[in-house]
Amino acid sequence: MNRLKNKKFIDKIITFFIIIVAYVVTDVLNNMGMVPSLISGLLVSFCTYSIIAVALNLVVGISGELSLGHAGFMCIGAFSSAIFTRYMKFLGVENIYIFIIAIIIGALVSALFGFLIGIPVLRLKGDYLAIVTLAFGEIIKNIFNAIYLGYDENGFHVTLKSASALKLKEGGFFIIKGPQGITGAPRYSTFLIATILLFICVFVIYNLIDQKTGRAIMALRDNRIAGESIGLNVTKYKLIAFTISAAFAGIAGVLYAHNFHTLTASTKNFGYNMSITILVFVVLGGMGNIRGSIISVVVLTILPEILRGLEGYRMLIYAIVLIVVMIFTNSPFVINYRKNLKLKFNKAKGVKHE
Amino acid sequence: MSNEIVLNVNSLSISFGGLKAVSDFNIDIKKKEIYGLIGPNGAGKTTVFNLLTGVYKPEAGEILLCGENIVGLDCVSINKKGIARTFQNIRLFSNMSVIDNVKVALNEHYKYNTLQGILRLRKYFECEKKMDEEANNLLKVFSIDDLANVTATNLPYGKQRKLEIARALATRPKLLLLDEPAAGMNENETKELMETILKVRDEFDMTILLIEHDMKLVKGICERLTVLNFGKVLSSGNTNDVLNDKEVIKAYLGD
């Protein structure tokens, strides 16, 4: 009994340890100027994508539902928080507390939408669920791409038509200017804050898995009919997983929004491409493997940057690396080969000891 | 044996398309009884189980569990009312450990909420400790407690069957339904299973309704039987009487 508890516990501790060590080492090296600018510019992105990959892992790996709309939740978190911070900046308030409130806003709004979208979507199964989440993700992105939000002495104005349709009075300003998005949201996202948020995310999801709610979520993934036969409410547990996942996707969005000067809801940022990229992180890191998701984010984010020198061949090599890693981690042949190798290695070690 | 009736089913019927899968099915099971439901393949035995557990809604008839009508409730509510089951083809939570398979079935009986679990408050540790104890005790009854940390899918077949029964018992049911518990077992395993079923009845004061093709097991532990053929009750009563019934022999062996 205790052995298993310990195994889960040790797994958790190792992950926390890796995050902290990675942060400290990178930060020290960064201060000494030993980190290439190429990577130091990516530090917040590592955390942002790690958070959303871990969040998606909760839905795909732990809950067993394929969601292709997580970039949409990231988009909601990004815009809802940036609207708030941009407005606060207009009022002349810019400090860390504003950012903390923004994080909470991003998480809550995204969780709310996760909950509302989850109610109809989670009644579907498998491929159908994937397609519908994909559609919702696109809808969300397109709405933020089309919306105009402005503020003047008469308060807030919203329209989907055009900038002039807002009829802002003099002294007013645009918060969201259609496809141009939000400009000038404060750049609050630092490597430290991003790491803390990643830490919280990992902490919450590990502790969610290793408790009765998490067990119910995994049980329903393994066998829905048996789960119902022992009294587990399918909708309830799927919704819990989906909502918590959406909340962390929202937090990733908050980090994303406050990492750059401008925030646009373009296809590149929040489109289905992004959702697929996040899914690649999760699948490559291993379904249900939290630490794996984070490691695969770091590797797959650095890789294209390192390969930049190869220009035209860059994405080709990226794709080949993906294929090789997938085969190496998932092909039964290679898994057996690795097992044998491990056995041999252990034997060799055993002989040495004697 | 007391005379308290746990399950009372009256004129239960369902049809799929034009086929009357089960018609006018009656049964009453007393507390602590081991009751057998037998019949040739396709007679509608598993359909009866699915009706009792809410997978299908009956077209007519009533199902009284300890006097309360449970017709029309869904699987989840019926389990909460006190019927637990196992499946003909084993359905475990295959990627979870043996003990987690049982603990997840205890969910309803230990109250702490998700947030208390995430923040690891005292309530979490208290409940988890009690859950571990209860799950371990259940595993001990089936002598699979030494395998508590093994992933369920890696268990040998006979032990998977046992784990499924342990999981069903963890929901603390009033009535346990076993769908072909001895299917695919050899003679020794069947013998062991019979002892286990008797042990479950005695230790948990459990009422058990089981579907079985293995006549040794049926003769060995069932006190009463109902025989189904083409969705209709062919015969019911004490095991020996039923098995010597001419109609029953005809249904099984032909004319």
pLDDT number for residue A1: 46
| C-beta neighbour count of A116 within 10 angstroms | 13
| C-beta neighbour count of A137 within 10 angstroms | 25
Q: Is residue A110 part of a domain?
A: yes
Of B254, B181, B247, give the one whose Cα is nearest residue B214: B181
B207 and B132 inside one domain: no
* Low pLDDT (below 70) residues in chain A: 1-5, 349-354
Q: Is residue B90 part of a domain?
A: no
**One-letter amino acid identity for A62?**
I
B71 and B140 inside one domain: no
Non-local (6+) Cβ contacts of B180 within 8 A are B88, B211, B212, B213
Place of tokens 């290793």: A210
B114 and B54 inside one domain: no
B191 and B160 inside one domain: no
pLDDT number for residue A2: 54
B184 and B71 inside one domain: yes
Rounded to whole angstroms, the Cα distance separating B120 from A188 reads: 30
pLDDT number for residue A163: 82
Structure tokens at B166: 């342990």
Residue B81: closest CA among chain A residues belongs to which residue? A231
Q: Please report residues of A whose CB lies closer than 8 A to that of B101.
A: 219
pLDDT number for residue B199: 93
B23, pLDDT greater than 60: yes
pLDDT number for residue A319: 87
What does the angle CA B199 – CA B201 – CA B205 come to, to the nearest 5 degrees? 125
The secondary structure of residue A33, as a DSSP letter, is T
Q: Is residue A318 part of a domain?
A: yes
The secondary structure of residue B152, as a DSSP letter, is G
Q: Is residue B87 part of a domain?
A: no
**Which tens digit of pLDDT belongs to each residue from B205-238?**
999 999 998 888 999 999 999 999 989 999 999 9
Q: Is residue A88 part of a domain?
A: yes
Last residue of a domain, one of B109, B135, B166: B166
Q: Please report residues of B whose CB lies closer than 8 A to that of A211.
A: 112, 114, 117-118, 124, 128
Last residue of a domain, one of B110, B145, B166: B166
H/E stretch holding B62: strand B60-65
Helices (DSSP H) in chain A: which residue ranges? 2-31, 37-40, 43-57, 70-90, 96-121, 126-146, 191-209, 212-222, 224-229, 234-257, 267-270, 272-285, 290-306, 314-330, 332-353
Torsion of CA A307, A308, A309, A314, to 10 degrees: 60
B44 and B60 inside one domain: yes
CATH number at residue A89: 1.10.3470
For residue A46, what are the domain limits?
2-349
How many beta-carbon pairs under 8 angstroms link A with B? 105
Interface of B with A in 50-109 (CB under 8 A): 53, 74-76, 79-80, 84-85, 87, 91-97, 99-101, 103-105, 107-108
Q: Is B101 helix (H, G, I), strand (E, B) or coil?
A: helix
Q: Is the model's pTM score more than 0.95? A: no
**Which tens digit of pLDDT belongs to each residue from A242-284?**
999 999 999 999 999 999 989 999 888 898 889 999 999 999 9
Q: Is residue A354 part of a domain?
A: no
Crossing angle of helices A43-57 and A234-257, rounded to 10°? 170
What is the rounded radius of gyration, in angstroms, for the C-alpha atoms of chain B? 19
Place of tokens 């869904």: B74
Instruction: Determine which of A228, A229, A234, A287 to mutate to test the interface with B (most B C-beta atoms within 10 Å).
Output: A229
Instruction: Annotate A170-224 with DSSP letters as a single string.
Output: TT-EEEEEGGG-EE-------HHHHHHHHHHHHHHHHHHHTSHHHHHHHHHHH-H
Q: Is residue B88 part of a domain?
A: no
Residues from A contacting B (CB-CB < 8 Å) are 1, 3-4, 7, 204, 207-208, 211-216, 218-219, 221-223, 225-234, 240
pLDDT number for residue B250: 83
For residue B136, what are the domain limits?
95-166
Question: What is the ipTM, given to two decimal places?
Answer: 0.92
Q: Please report residues of B whose CB lies closer than 8 A to that of A286.
A: none
**Which tens digit of pLDDT belongs to each residue from B106-131?**
998 998 999 999 999 999 999 999 99
Q: Is residue B9 part of a domain?
A: yes
pLDDT number for residue A354: 35
Exposure string for A271-292, b = 16+ CB within 10 A, e = fewer: bbebbebbbbbbbbbbebbbbb
B32 and B143 inside one domain: no
pLDDT number for residue A165: 82
Q: Are A60 and A279 in contact (CB under 8 A)?
A: yes
Residue A6: closest CA among chain B residues belongs to which residue? B149
Structure tokens at A100: 């903390």
| Average of per-residue pLDDT across B4-30 | 92
Q: Is residue A39 part of a domain?
A: yes
Last residue of a domain, one of B132, B166, B200: B166
Q: Are A52 and A74 in contact (CB under 8 A)?
A: yes
Place of tokens 């249900």: A288
Rounded to whole angstroms, the Cα distance separating B134 from A1 reads: 13
Torsion of CA A162, A167, A171, A177, to 10 degrees: -10
Q: Is residue A47 part of a domain?
A: yes
| C-beta neighbour count of B80 within 10 angstroms | 15
B29 and B146 inside one domain: no
Q: How many structural domains are present in chain B?
A: 2
Q: How many structural domains are present in chain A?
A: 1
Rounded to whole angstroms, the Cα distance separating B232 from B237 reads: 15
